[in-house]
Amino acid sequence: GAMSLEGDPFHNFLLDEYSIQVPVMPWRHHGVRYIRISAQLYNHVDEYRYLAEALSESL
């Protein structure tokens, strides 16, 4: 399946509430979604911590 960005309600929530933009994609045959993150040189550990905090507060 194609990567979902703007179409997923949780993607929109993270963007609107936390200014975080990550792909939220369906996990086929499991009826759940997952968030895809990848480590890049331009990302900082504090950004991953912020995402973890946002997910902890939201889920």
- On whether residue 3 sits in a domain, the answer given is no
What is the C-alpha separation between 40 and 2, in angstroms, rounded? 22
- On whether residue 24 sits in a domain, the answer given is yes
Structural domain of 50: 9-58
- On whether residue 2 sits in a domain, the answer given is no
Provide the pLDDT for residue 5.
55
- On whether residue 1 sits in a domain, the answer given is no
pTM: 0.77
Q: Which residues pair with 32 in a beta bridge?
A: 27
Q: How many domains does the chain have?
A: 1
Residue-wise pLDDT tens for the chain (59 aa)? 455 456 789 999 999 999 999 999 888 888 888 998 988 999 999 999 999 999 999 98
Is the Cβ–Cβ distance between 24 and 16 less than 8 Å? Answer: no
What is the C-alpha separation between 12 and 44, in angstroms, rounded? 22
- On whether residue 22 sits in a domain, the answer given is yes
